[in-house]
Structure 1
Amino acid sequence: MSTFDPSRSEPEPEGGGKPSFDKQPPQQPPNAEQPGDPDASGAGPYTGAPFGGGGGYGGGNPYDGNPYGGAPSGAPAGGPAPVAGMPPLGTWPHRILARVIDYVIVQVIAFLLVLPFAGFSNRNGYTEGVWVFYALYLVYEGLMLSRDGQTLGKKAMNVRVAMLADGSSPVGSAAWTRAAVYTLPAVLCCGLWWLVNGLYGVFDKPYRQCLHDKAAKTVVVSTN
């Protein structure tokens, strides 16, 4: 029968001697970042603005920042900040009055053109007058904006149309796109388009762009 011998030592590890700590895994420094851990600023490696920031890929939405370079100055009471390096945005009273002036001018011309050929006492004469008005308005707006960004109404109210990218006048396709998007949909919905288009601009931030401005990438600014 075997007996327990207290003098017998515990079995030694292979290789003899006491266990070695030379092969223990290296200790991480106390402040070392672990993979996937937040960095020193508290943001994880996949948080924050990618590709240079700005709230979106490639620098963010062009309408969220300032397309003219530099930070916009302080916003005036009741409106967005003016565009840096450009005049302030045109006010709604001036823009609406400019449209009214242009509308009256084109309407009078259309009336004078149609009157010798059709009477307005019947529906056919009225319909022809409406078609002539829309056609004249499209041509009038496209030609005037292509020249210097101003119609007669805009000249009277001291506002002009400028390209959102650099503030230049909307020559060529930009001017005609703006005129077409403003005029042609109104032919199909009997002018209701103008109400929808205008209300869109009232709520648009920060440049008060109506839908025809969005299509042509333009903005209305003051000339004062």
Structure 2
Amino acid sequence: MSNTAEEIIIRFRDDLISSQLIETESSGLLAVSGGIDSVVMAYLFAQVRDNFRLTLAIAHFNHSLRGEESDADEDFVKDLAKALGMPFFSEKWTSSERGNWEERAREARYSFLNKTRQQLGYDWIATAHHADDQAETLLMRLVEGSGYRGLRGISERNGKVVRPLLKFSKAEFTLYAGENEISFREDSSNQDTRFRRNRIRE
């Protein structure tokens, strides 16, 4: 684990080089919800974009599940994109279907991200999944009785989607945000036990 924000930046840069997840002079769409994980990711990419000569933009999917709170998240991310000098793209979910809305929300989010990437010509999409997410995913799949293939966890790359933070912990994001006085949004749905992942955390 890194002990300072500067060490986190160096590790992030070095991991991008060693993993070859992204190419120099490529363009990327950063999926930012407004929570600490994705906000720190946006700041880290802003720190290294000149090293890799990257063209970056921020994309936000408004799930509309928390009313005014969801809209405030979108406004926050829009302001963040402006502060970091990145174009901002967003979409608001308007589905009224019943059923497995957790899975449908996830599918709608990735549909928006992929559509935006294709329409605007970005090379890749980055999400902020991290080491804690990886551990939770493996535990969740174990509890659900997944076979061997299901226990492989979250991959660093899935098509055009890259996950450059899988070697970093939530504690490191908290450290980075604290040292740099970075603001982020608290998602009240993280306490909602209707979500499988939240039940696992309990």
Q: TM-score range by the shorter chain?
A: under 0.3
Q: Is the helix fraction higher in 1 or 2?
A: 2
Work out which of the two has the higher radius of gyration on C-alpha atoms and give 1 or 2. 1
**Higher relative contact order at CA 8 Å, sep ≥6: structure 1 or structure 2?**
2
TM-score between both structures, scaled by the size of structure 2: 0.26
TM-score between both structures, scaled by the size of structure 1: 0.24
Q: Is the strand fraction higher in 1 or 2?
A: 2
